[in-house]
Amino acid sequence: MNVEIDHLGIAVRSLEEALGFYEGVLGMAASGRETVEAEQVNVAMLPAGSGAGASRIELLEATGEGSPIAKFVEKRGPGLHHVALRVDDLAGATERLRQAGARLLNEPRAGAGGHAYVFVHPASAGGVLLELIQK
């Protein structure tokens, strides 16, 4: 199985404030912004390299108090939320995880950018919230 780092998800209180740092100070440029209703989150993607397969920084802003990102920020403050890995075969990877007894937080579904993804609970991934994304 080929695995690549797709993005690092960073929970923020405000996309505008975070973009002030990432774009204004670091000189990165957001390649897109969208709202993912299913996750109750506004997203800004910032490429961290060149080329079509470059890794990215994903800034995540809650759209409501009940969203997972709002709960994360309330409990832990802004910061690294998850690590996303790109895989060639999401269905196969999901099945291997299930067979290994890993705890999945959702069934594969479409997320930011229309990519299929599944989250793996930190208890099954060494304490890290892991997202697998179909390449």
CATH number at residue 96: 3.10.180.10
- Is the predicted pLDDT of residue 109 greater than 80, yes or no? yes
Query: Are residues 27 and 19 in contact, defined by beta-carbon separation less than 8 angstroms?
Result: no
Tracing tokens 């930011």 back to the chain, one arrives at 112
Tell me which residue range forms the domain holding 18: 3-134
- Is the predicted pLDDT of residue 102 greater than 90, yes or no? yes
Query: Which H, E and C letters describe the chain, residue by residue?
Result: CCEEEEEEEEEECCHHHHHHHHCCCCCCCCCEEEEEHHHCEEEEEEECCCCCCCCEEEEEEECCCCCHHHHHHHHHCCEEEEEEEEECCHHHHHHHHHHCCCCECCCCEECHHHCEEEEECHHHCCCCCEEEEEC
pLDDT at residue 49, as a whole number: 87
- Token couple for 21: 């740092």
pTM of the model: 0.93
Count of domains in the chain? 1
- Is the predicted pLDDT of residue 16 greater than 90, yes or no? yes
